C-alpha cells in the first residue's frame, strides 16, 4: 500500500515538473454565422456568410500522453546520435504513434545537428548525455571526466535544451570515479539488442518479440543505423499492440519503480532486474 502511494506521489511530481509533450490547447478561431433578423431587417455583409465562403477548419486538440502506473511499460533508449537522417526518422515514428523515448546523445554530434535535439524535446522525449566524443569515461581522471561532460553540456545548452541530468557512460563502463564524481544519474540498460553488431532490422525485431516479459525494462538501441529505424518502425506499434506503454527512463523509474533518479547513482542491469515493481 505504501509503495503504491509513493508511486502516485512521485507520478504527480513528475507530471508537474515535466516540460514534455503537454502544451497549452490551441485557441480555436471564432466561427461567425448569420444571425437571425426580423422581417423588417435587411441582411448586410456584417451578419451574412457568403454562399461561397470557405469552411473554417478547427485545429485538432494537441495529444497529451497519459501514463497508467498499473499498466505495463517499457523504455526505449537510443545512443550515439543525433544523426542527420535516422534520428529524425525515429522521431517521426514516435510522433505518429504518440510514443516517447530517451535519447543519449553525443555532445560533438549535438553541435552538428542541434535542431534534432530541439525536436526531441518538443515531442516530449527525454535527453541524456552520452559524453562529448564517446570516450571510455573510466580511462579519464576526475578533472578530465568533468571537462568532457561539461563540453557536452555546452552543446546541449546551445541547442536550446537544459544540460542533461542523466548520463549513459559509453560502453556502460563505470568505475568509482565515474560513479561518485559526476553529480548525475548514471543510466545503463538491461536489454541489449546489439543492433550495432548485427545491423539487421529483422534480427532486432525477432529478438525483442522473442522476449516474454518486457515490462519495466530499459532497451538499448542506437539512432545511427538505417536498420534500427526499420526495426523500430515495426516494434513501436507492435509493443503498443501488446499493451506496453512506451515511456522515458525517468517516467519508468517514477511510475514503475516508485523512485526518481538520484545523482551519483547507477540504474542498470542489477537495479532493473532486482528492484521490485511498486505494485508488489
Q: How many angstroms separate the CA atoms of 234 and 193, rounded? A: 14
pLDDT tens column, 48-93: 656 666 777 777 677 788 999 999 999 999 999 999 999 999 999 9
- Name the strand (E) or helix (H) holding 126: strand 126-129
* Average pLDDT of the segment spanning 179-185: 97
How far are the Cα atoms of 145, 224, 254, 257 from residue 261, in angstroms, in the given order? 21, 27, 8, 10
Give the span between the Cα atoms of 8 and 2, in whole angstroms. 10
The pLDDT value recorded for residue 274 is 84
Identify whether the C-beta of residue 154 lies closer than 8 Å to the C-beta of residue 190.
no
> Is the pLDDT reported for residue 280 higher than 90?
no
DSSP output for 169-199: -GGG---HHHHHHS-SEEE--SEE--HHHH-
pLDDT, mean of residues 119-147: 98
Residues 154-171 have pLDDT tens digits of 999 999 999 999 999 999
Any idea which residues carry the catalytic annotation?
A: 79, 222
Concatenating the DSSP letter of every residue in 62-97 gives: PP-----TTS-EEEEEEES---TTHHHHHHHHHHHT
> Chain-centre distance of CA 230, in angstroms?
18
Amino acid at each position: 500500500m505504501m509503495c503504491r502511494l509513493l508511486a502516485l506521489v512521485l507520478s504527480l511530481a513528475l507530471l508537474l515538473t515535466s516540460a514534455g509533450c503537454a502544451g497549452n490547447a490551441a485557441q480555436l478561431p471564432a466561427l461567425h454565422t448569420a444571425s437571425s433578423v426580423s422581417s423588417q431587417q435587411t441582411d448586410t455583409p456584417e451578419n451574412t456568410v457568403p454562399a461561397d465562403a470557405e469552411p473554417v477548419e478547427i485545429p485538432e486538440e494537441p495529444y497529451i500522453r497519459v501514463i497508467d502506473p498499473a499498466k505495463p511499460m517499457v523504455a526505449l533508449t537510443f545512443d550515439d546520435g543525433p544523426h542527420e537522417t535516422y534520428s529524425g526518422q525515429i522521431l517521426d515514428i514516435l510522433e505518429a504513434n504518440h510514443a516517447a523515448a530517451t535519447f543519449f546523445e553525443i555532445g560533438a554530434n549535438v553541435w552538428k545537428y542541434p535542431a534534432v535535439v530541439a525536436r526531441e524535446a518538443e515531442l516530449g522525449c527525454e535527453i541524456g548525455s552520452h559524453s562529448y566524443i564517446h570516450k571510455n569515461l573510466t580511462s579519464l581522471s576526475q578533472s578530465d571526466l568533468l571537462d568532457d561532460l561539461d563540453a557536452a553540456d555546452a552543446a546541449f545548452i546551445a541547442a536550446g535544451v537544459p544540460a542533461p541530468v542523466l548520463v549513459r557512460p559509453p560502453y556502460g563502463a563505470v568505475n568509482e570515479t565515474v560513479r561518485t564524481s559526476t553529480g548525475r544519474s548514471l543510466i545503463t540498460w538491461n536489454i541489449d539488442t546489439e543492433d550495432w553488431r548485427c545491423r539487421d532490422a529483422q534480427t532486432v525485431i525477432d529478438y525483442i518479440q522473442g522476449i516474454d516479459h518486457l515490462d519495466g525494462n530499459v532497451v538499448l538501441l542506437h539512432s545511427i543505423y538505417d536498420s534500427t529505424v526499420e526495426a523500430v518502425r515495426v516494434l513501436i506499434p507492435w509493443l503498443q499492440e501488446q499493451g506496453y506503454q512506451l515511456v522515458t527512463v525517468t517516467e519508468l523509474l517514477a511510475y514503475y519503480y516508485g523512485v526518481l533518479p538520484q545523482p551519483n547513482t547507477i540504474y542498470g542491469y542489477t537495479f532493473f532486474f532486482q528492484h521490485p515493481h511498486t505494485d508488489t
